[in-house]
Amino acid sequence: METVVKATNVKKVYGLKGSIYTALDDINLTIETGEFVGIMGPSGSGKSTLLNVLSTIDHPTSGDIFIDNTNLAQMNEDQLSAFRRDKLGFIFQDYNLLDTLTVRENILLPLALAKIKARDLNQKADKIAEQFFIDSILDKYPYQISGGQKQRTAVCRAIITNPSLLLADEPTGALDSRSATDLLECLKELNETDKTTILMVTHDAFAASYCKRVLFIKDGTIFTELVKGNTSRKNFFKKILDTLSVLGGNGNDFV
Amino acid sequence: MTLFDITKKNIKGNFKNYLIYFISMFMCVVIYYTFVSLQYSTKIADSIESSQNMQMIFMIASIVLILFVLVFIMYSNNFFTRKRKKEIGLYSLLGLPKKTIGRMLFYENLFIGGIVLVAGIAIGTLFSKMFTMILIKLLGTELEIGMTFSLSALVHTLIVFLTIIFFTSIQGYRLIYKFKLIELFRSDQEGELEPKASIISAILAVIFLVVGYGFAFRNFSTSEEIMVNLIIMTIGVIVGTILLFDSLIIVLLKAIKKKTSYYYKGMNLISISNLVYRIKGNARTLSVITLLSATALCAFSVGFGMYHSFEQSAKQSSPFSYMFVSQSESFNKKIDTIIQDDKEHPIKAKLTLPVIKVAGEASSSKVLSDRDKQEDDKPIKIISMKDYNKAADVLGLNPVQEIDDKHAIAIRPMYTDYTFADVYQGNILKVDLPKGEDKTFEFAGMTPDRVINWSYPDIMIIVNNKMYDKIKTQVPPIHYMGYMVQGQTTTKQTANTLAGVRTPESNLLTFYSEYRVGIEGAAFNVFILGFLGLVFVMATGSIIYFKQLTEATSDKFRYDILRKIGVSRQAINNGIVKQIAFIFIVPLVVALVHYLVILGLLKRLFSAMASSDILPPILVCVIVFVTIYIIYYVLTVNSISKTVNKKSSPLIRRVSLAIVACIVAMAGIFLWFNPPTSNDDKMTVTEKIKLELPKPTGKYLVGRVDMHLVDKKRVDPWVKNTSRELMISIWYPAQQKSKTKALYMEKKAAKYFDEKSISSIGVDSGLIDLSATATNAWKDAPVAMNNKKLPVVIYSPGGSIPRNFGTVLVEELVSRGYIVVTVDHPYETSVVEFPDGRLVTEKLPSVSAETILKMMDVRVKDIRFVLNQLEYFQKGNNPDHEKRNLPAGLNKVLDLSRIGIFGHSAGGATSAQSMYEDRRLDAGIDMDGTMGHVPDHLLPVAQNGLKSPFMLMHVGYTKDGKVDSHLPNKDRNSFWKQSTGWKFDLAIPKGGHFSYTDYQVLLPQISQKLSVSSKVMEKSIGNVDSEKAIAAQKAYISAFFDQHLKGISQPIFKSPSPFKEVDLIK
């Protein structure tokens, strides 16, 4: 199996002298192809910082990050943009769809930006939309569709470039439980059938239970790790809840 | 923490939002103040007042500008408060009372407004100076525009903006009361729907534009067709433009969306979909911008065309900076020294052009008319090809091509639009030579470029060198000496010095004198139009800038998304650059296309604009226009990129730095070149020129008394709020001289006339002291009493001409034993001064048949009132309003049983119509006056004629080259036919319309001291010999009144004219 993400001794410090705040402290992390990894932790634990650093939106203070064996530290701004476009796919809590574009155009956007020949773009969009059950709303605008549909559009947009890594930041945060379940099933399906590597940040134990492996972060370090293995999703969910209670903090953070 | 502190912190915290609001308000103040200071510049205000078109343009401009400012500020205020709804909602949520929040918003707005006003006016002052400088440099004339800091402009701007600021402040205050708390929070989430565009409107847009353009290109021959073309073009273009932005472009963009190979490519997807929203949302603004830009360009071009035609015509009549016909060696030397001494205008070239003058015959009267032959016994000028081409080279004209002995090339006479095909082709010119061997030439071509001074008759041909040499052996040539100097548009001093040494034979002309006439007015028009154009381009640029910027702030999150999904800064910037470019380019291109089409129509309407020489200035103004747009474009892209990326891209930063540097440099250059100085330097030192009138020939001394008459029974028809009052002078034979001569013109009136009217003949004001013109009349002198009553003659001056301009003829009549009463017609005359020092100036409505007929009615009533007052005076009363002392016995010598009347121009018509209405008038003369508003509104007297004796006097020629008379004029022809009394018609063919006024003696005197355009001289008084023309007038007018008022039969009316200047009409 190949390594998609390899982070060694990643450190992120905010602020200047006087009031220094360490968001990430010596993080070491490896994600293999086809994995579905969840990252959990209380508010302020550093999980979003970790995602930002891994997704190249933010730079680590020290340490190295390799994605597909490419060292992010050695890339300049433009290369990073191109890298994001070609290798990474993003799903955000608030969808981040462009309201001036139709659903189809939103999905196609990354391909268009990569200046890929337009000939079979539409078919591609149709196919991927069918997979996520949004083929009937392809020509609608984002303000005309529901939250769940929006998020599935966002997923389509994220995976249309066949990214090496799909990053999801609280993808179910703004969805009702029905839509959330649908979305998670989709992600699982994606991971199992297409072997897409997914890294998902969440504070929802239910969402995390769809992952194959869950990392717990506390005070900027990896506190522990749970692997699903052959346990059922329900049991895995319980395990996660147990770990969270051990993790401490305010339990209310994790429901 | 006080409310004021919160306000202060608010402004600090919200600096970015405030900045946009601030900038937009600031631009408004700058633009408005610049415009208003133009309006309040005294010189410009005068020139606006004198032109109805300018008045209209200014009125429309100020309305559009105020609307612009209002809408712009309301819009930005609206945007600004909307941005802050959340903040306001938060204050409310935190429990701050509504009243307090309202007051806070109110203060904030006032505070910003105050700062903006101060900064805007400061920068506005600089801007107006800079614009002035740029335009004057562009025009290259000596325009003196006192664009200094103007207090009234400041007050005007303050009032307008304080009102607006106060209003928007109240709006801010009310905001908090108007909305519910929940709305305040939601305001930013209102989503936009996808714009719809109807195909039908898009098709309509195309139809309107095509039809509008079609009518712009359609041929026309009548003025009705022109109107139709103009109206349909205007409607087509306006409606077409609005629909274009509202629908057509949207439809086109949507069509592009369908073309996926282009649409799904990089940032196109984002840019195009954004544009659909942007264009639709700004459709109205963009169409207004387009139309305003096209209008501004057209107005500027028309102004420039007019301006240019003046310069062209000056170049035609005086191709060289100075030129004269060679005289004695000492004369030539004197002129040469004067020109050499002018170090500011070094000589570029000096040329001697030999020209042979001969008599001849032509096969067409257009080539050589009988009138030409009468005017000069050697009307044909011949120049050799070699000399012509030498001159053409110096003047930068096209050389002519070699021809053989049998052919000649014609030079087009001035004031004609002859073409070779119409006039010269196939015609033959025979040249008479003294020793026989007459030469015959066929025309081989025509050139419009003249190389020697204009003089009448204007017939000149080019022959080949061999032929020229042959003719030269028989007729010696005269030599034209031509000088080209650097900066020939500013040689005022030298031109005036030369005027002092000029002789009539030398025919000395300076380019400056020709150029000076009218150029100032034309330059003013270009200046004003150009300035308005700039102001509007600035205004429209600001609109786009601001709108794009505000939209970019609301688009910011979109760009954030793009960055997150892997679009580089560079790519986003490129997208913005392209998208904004589209928004700028579309109105620009559409405006330019409109402009070109309309210009095509205008070119056909105004021949002045057809000249190809006008292309460079038009190009310059297009380039300036495009440049300003580019500057705005760069600024916009820069600001947006800053908003979106939080920093500007290095290229854009550099470009904007360069622009700022340019502006600063320009301001610097301006201040360096034009340190603030006063313009009245040399003028006050030089003594003013004094003129004199010729002595009358009769035996009596002349006395004069002025009277102020008030007609209490008549409301003044021109101003309505006062009784009609008149100034008259009574001129009478005097017993002896009094202490002082009568002033030619009252001092204040003379000063006013000098300032307002003298410049129309191309002479600077302040050089001539008109009031000191030496008259022959003694003020309030004792009346000559020899127990004889004298007939009375009334004099009515021409339209807008003060009554004193008839003094030469009036004094002559008085010296021969008449009492003459000269009458001013206030509000119609350019200026009348009353005894209390009041000046009443011209206040006529625009010229129309109605105005002319009303004017005549008022004039006749004036005359009849004067007659009544004379009767009142005769009875021993004092009609003077101030009851000033009148010369003793004057009333006793008036013989009111014999009254004549004469007048020039409108005054001549007044004479005839007054006689028609008032039987007390026994005889009259009309000196070159039209009887009514021709062709269709004849005065009653022209329709019905007179039974009493009447004399018509004419000048000049008709269009067909015939001597002017009653015959070709519908009004006087009818008058002549209907009149049953004694009648006489004469003409001075070589004279001008003003030959029958004092101008006939004053203008030649002025031109001896100052350089006056030959064109002005020609148009005003023709080229008749001044003394002889005056002598002839004196003889005929005296004879007429002698015969019809004194009853002494005059042989002069029965014989051919003893004056060769006079033609008698049968």
User: How many structural domains does chain B have?
Assistant: 4
The beta-carbon neighbor of A108 closest among B264, B276, B558 is B264
List of chain B residues with pLDDT < 70: 1-7, 10-11, 13-17, 20, 42-54, 82-83, 86, 90, 134-149, 178-194, 518, 520-521, 607-614, 646-656, 659, 663-686, 759-762
Q: How far is CA B654 from each of CA A77, B542, B641, B648, B906, rounded to the nearest angstrom?
A: 21, 21, 14, 10, 67
The beta-carbon neighbor of B569 closest among A77, A109, A141 is A77
B630 and B731 part of one domain: no
Q: Which residue has the tokens 């002005």?
A: B1016
The beta-carbon neighbor of A121 closest among B260, B267, B568 is B260
Q: Establish if A219 touches chain B: CB-CB under 8 angstroms.
A: no
Q: Establish if B266 touches chain A: CB-CB under 8 angstroms.
A: yes
Residue of B nearest to A107 (CA): B264
The nearest CA of chain B is from the CA of A235 a distance in Å of 35
- The pLDDT tens digits for A166-178 are 999 888 888 888 8
Task: Give alpha helix (H) positions in B606-707.
Answer: 615-645, 650-673, 682-685
Q: Which residues of B touch A119 (CB under 8 A)?
A: 261
> Residue B839: what residue type?
L
Separation CA B752–CA B930 (nearest Å): 28
Coil, helix or strand at residue A162: coil
- The pLDDT tens digits for B975-1010 are 999 999 999 999 999 899 999 999 999 998 888 888
B522 and B508 part of one domain: no
B819 and B932 part of one domain: yes
Q: Establish if B568 touches chain A: CB-CB under 8 angstroms.
A: yes
Residue A16 confidence (pLDDT): 66
Which residues lie across from B463 on neighbouring strands? Answer: B384
Separation CA B838–CA B188 (nearest Å): 65
B791 and B768 part of one domain: yes
Which residues does B906 contact at the CB level (< 8 Å), separation at least 6?
A: B796, B797, B798, B799, B855, B856, B859, B929
Residue range(s) defining the domain that contains residue B327: 313-517
Residue B51 confidence (pLDDT): 63
Separation CA B485–CA B895 (nearest Å): 63
Peptide bond into B1056 cis (omega under 30): no
More confident residue, B759 or A95: A95
Best A113, A144, A145, A157 member to test B by mutation, with max B CBs in 10 Å, is A113
* End residue of a domain, out of B623, B644, B679: B679
Best B565, B569, B646, B647 member to test A by mutation, with max A CBs in 10 Å, is B565
The residues in A 55-74 lying below 8 A from B, measured between CB atoms, are: 57
B492 and B581 part of one domain: no
Q: Establish if A178 touches chain B: CB-CB under 8 angstroms.
A: no
Q: Which residues of B touch A117 (CB under 8 A)?
A: 261
Give the CA diameter of chain B: 116
CB-CB under 8 Å, B561 with A112: no
The nearest CA of chain B is from the CA of A248 a distance in Å of 33
Q: Which residue has the tokens 């004629």?
A: B945
CB-CB under 8 Å, B269 with A113: yes
Q: Quick one: angle between helices B151-178 and B85-93, nearest 10?
A: 50
Q: Establish if A212 touches chain B: CB-CB under 8 angstroms.
A: no
**For chain A, what are the domain ranges?**
3-201
Residue B164 confidence (pLDDT): 84
In a domain, B411, yes or no: yes
Separation CA A146–CA A168 (nearest Å): 19
Residue B928 confidence (pLDDT): 94
Residue of B nearest to A118 (CA): B261
Hey, what are B195's tokens?
Answer: 């714009």
Residue B180 confidence (pLDDT): 65
Q: What is the DSSP string of B776-791?
A: SEEETPPBP-SS--EE
DSSP A60: -
Residue of B nearest to A116 (CA): B265
* End residue of a domain, out of B517, B533, B549: B517
CB-CB under 8 Å, B570 with A118: no
Q: Which residues of A touch B192 (CB under 8 A)?
A: 99
Q: Establish if A145 touches chain B: CB-CB under 8 angstroms.
A: no
* End residue of a domain, out of B517, B534, B564: B517
Sign of CA dihedral B421, B427, B433, B437: positive
Q: What is the DSSP string of B204-256?
A: HHHHHHHHHHHHHHS---SHHHHHHHHHHHHHHHHHHHHHIIIIIHHHHHHHH
Q: What is the DSSP string of A95-131?
A: ----TTS-HHHHHHHHHHHTT--STTHHHHHHHHHHH
Q: Which residue has the tokens 């009553």?
A: B789
The nearest CA of chain B is from the CA of A163 a distance in Å of 12
The residues in A 153-172 lying below 8 A from B, measured between CB atoms, are: 157
The beta-carbon neighbor of B566 closest among A81, A108, A141 is A81
Q: Quick one: angle between helices B283-317 and B511-564, nearest 10?
A: 160
In a domain, B806, yes or no: yes
Q: Rounded to 5, what percent of chain A is helix, strand, coil?
A: 40, 25, 35
CB-CB under 8 Å, B273 with A113: no
CB-CB under 8 Å, A92 with B566: no
B351 and B460 part of one domain: yes
B756 and B659 part of one domain: no
Nearest to residue B644, comparing CAs of B557, B545, B547, B550? Answer: B557
Q: Establish if B270 touches chain A: CB-CB under 8 angstroms.
A: yes
Nearest to residue B900, comparing CAs of B921, B929, B878? Answer: B921
Burial code of B666-693, b = ≥16 C-beta within 10 A, e = fewer? eeeebeeeeeeeeeeeeeeeeeebebeb
Report residue B27 CA to chain centroid gap.
Answer: 30
- HSE toward the beta carbon, residue B502, CA cutoff 13 A: 25
Q: Establish if B112 touches chain A: CB-CB under 8 angstroms.
A: no
The nearest CA of chain B is from the CA of A60 a distance in Å of 17
Q: Which residue has the tokens 């629908």?
A: B247
- First-to-last C-alpha distance (Å) of chain B: 101
Hey, what are B846's tokens?
Answer: 């625009």
Residue A254 confidence (pLDDT): 46
The nearest CA of chain A is from the CA of B266 a distance in Å of 4
Q: Are strands B839-841 and B831-833 parallel, antiparallel or unpaired?
A: antiparallel
Separation CA B1035–CA B488 (nearest Å): 44
B209 and B287 part of one domain: yes
CB-CB under 8 Å, A100 with B273: yes
Q: Establish if B250 touches chain A: CB-CB under 8 angstroms.
A: no
Q: Which residues of A touch B267 (CB under 8 A)?
A: 113
Q: Establish if A98 touches chain B: CB-CB under 8 angstroms.
A: yes
B229 and B328 part of one domain: no
Phi, psi for residue B302 in degrees, rounded to 5: -60, -45
B891 and B949 part of one domain: yes
CB-CB under 8 Å, A113 with B566: yes
B752 and B898 part of one domain: yes
CB-CB under 8 Å, A117 with B269: no
Separation CA B942–CA B935 (nearest Å): 12
The beta-carbon neighbor of B264 closest among A88, A99, A118 is A118
CB-CB under 8 Å, B568 with A77: yes
> What CATH number does the domain containing B883 carry?
3.40.50.1820
**Contact present, B556 and B174 (Cβ < 8 Å):** no
- The pLDDT tens digits for B478-514 are 999 999 998 888 888 888 888 888 887 888 888 888 8
Separation CA B968–CA B961 (nearest Å): 11
Sign of CA dihedral B11, B17, B23, B29: negative
CB-CB under 8 Å, A112 with B265: yes
In a domain, B42, yes or no: yes
CB-CB under 8 Å, A101 with B568: no
Instruction: Work out the angle at residue B457's Cα, subtended by the Cα atoms of residues B456 and B463, and round it to the nearest 5 degrees.
Output: 125
B480 and B385 part of one domain: yes
A·B CB contacts under 8 A: 90
Residue B288 confidence (pLDDT): 84
Q: Which residues of A touch B273 (CB under 8 A)?
A: 98, 100-101, 105
Residue of B nearest to A97 (CA): B561
Q: Does domain A3-201 have CATH number 3.40.50.2300?
A: no
Separation CA B130–CA B126 (nearest Å): 6
